Structure formats: structure tokens, C-alpha cells
Amino acid sequence: MADGYNKPIPIPQPESDNYWEGAKAGELRLRHCDDCNQAYFYPRNICPDCGNNNTSWIVASGKAKIHTFAIVHRPPHPGFMDDIPYVPAIVELEEGPRMATQIVNVEADPSAISIDMPVKVVFESITDEISLPKFEPA
């Protein structure tokens, strides 16, 4: 574990083990419905659209655009005290689904970030098991 890391740490669940293993290996893995022929987020075995379980895993390109963002000045948790201001965001992946993340390697100022701005995934290792997919300007 990164020394002193005290933010919430994901606990992989049976349906998300492969997602988190992928992130640790530097891959953004998505579930894909082979009946609907579309990817979806977050990982679950049954397609939330059609309800079938004819689903597989794909590796996303890591390319995305910002769907929305905010700039947090008041930390919601003591672990984020040293990070403010930081930039939580929802990004729309090239494959279609949206996911929540943080935009990093950017100035935390509304004039430096814009909705629809292209971004790409980067992985931040926070423990021996967990890396978080975050996004930076492409």
C-alpha cells in the first residue's frame, strides 16, 4: 500500500475481480453484451439492457471525453484533505459507457478543463491489489 494512503479503497467483488485485476495490469476492462453488441459499465454478469447473460470482457481503448466535472474545495473525507482542490468527473468512454473517475495532471480550475475535452486513462497504484483508472488530458 502506498505509504499513508487513507482514502476509500475498492473491495473487489466476484463480478468485479477481473475489472480490478485488469486495472492492476494496466488495462481498462469492460463488460460487453454479445447480444446487444455493446459495452457497459459497471461490471456485472447480466446485461443491464437486455437482461441476458451472453456477455464477455473487452479491453477498452482508454480514450474518453469529459461528460462533466466538478472542482472539490471541501473534502468529503479526511483522506482527500491534501488533494483539494481536485477534479472528480464522469467520462464517456470511446466504447460508449460512462464511468466516474478523477481528472489528473491538469490545473484544478474551470478555465483549464472543459466538458467534451478528450482524455485518456492512466492507472494509479494505491495498494498491491488495486490500481485506480484515472484520466488525464489526451
Partner 1 sequence: MPVMDKLKAISGSAAIVGVAESDNIGRVPEKGPMELHAEAGRNALADAGIDKSEVDGVFTAGYSTYDIAEYMGITPHFTDSTSVGGSSFVIHIAHAMAAIEAGYCEVALITHGESGRSNRARPGGNPGLAAAQYEAPYGIMGAPIGYSLAANRYMHQYGEDRTREAMANIAVSTRKWANMNEKAYFYDTPMSFDEYHDSRWVSWPFHLPDCCLVTDAGAAIVVTSAERAKSTKKGGVRVLGAAEGHDHSVLHQMPDLTRTWGRHTGPQALEMAGVTHDELDLAMIYDSFTYTVIATLESLGFCGPGEGPDFVADQRTAPGGDFPLNTSGGGLSYTHPGMYGIFTVVEAVRQLRGETGQRQLDDCKLAMAHGTGGTLSSTGTVILARD
Beta strands in 10-52 (DSSP E): 29-33, 38-40
Using the rule CB under 8 A, is 105 a contact of partner 1?
no
Choose the stretch contacting partner 1; rule: CB under 8 A; options: 26-34, 51-59, 71-79.
71-79
By beta-carbon proximity to partner 1, the closer residue of 99 and 119 is: 99
Using the rule CB under 8 A, is 111 a contact of partner 1?
no
By beta-carbon proximity to partner 1, the closer residue of 63 and 65 is: 65
**Nearest approach, Cβ of 59 to partner 1 (angstroms)?**
18
By beta-carbon proximity to partner 1, the closer residue of 46 and 71 is: 71
CA atoms within 13 Å, Cβ hemisphere of 68:
1
State how far the alpha carbon of 122 is from the alpha carbons of 51, 52, 61, 113, in Å.
31, 32, 11, 17
**Nearest approach, Cβ of 9 to partner 1 (angstroms)?**
7
Closest CA to 59 of 43, 48, 45: 43
In this structure, are residues 135 and 94 in contact, taking their beta carbons and an 8 Å threshold? Answer: no
Using the rule CB under 8 A, is 137 a contact of partner 1?
no
Using the rule CB under 8 A, is 57 a contact of partner 1?
no
Choose the stretch contacting partner 1; rule: CB under 8 A; options: 8-16, 27-35, 50-58.
8-16
d(CA 83, CA 80): 5
Using the rule CB under 8 A, is 120 a contact of partner 1?
no
CB atoms within 10 A of CB 107: 11
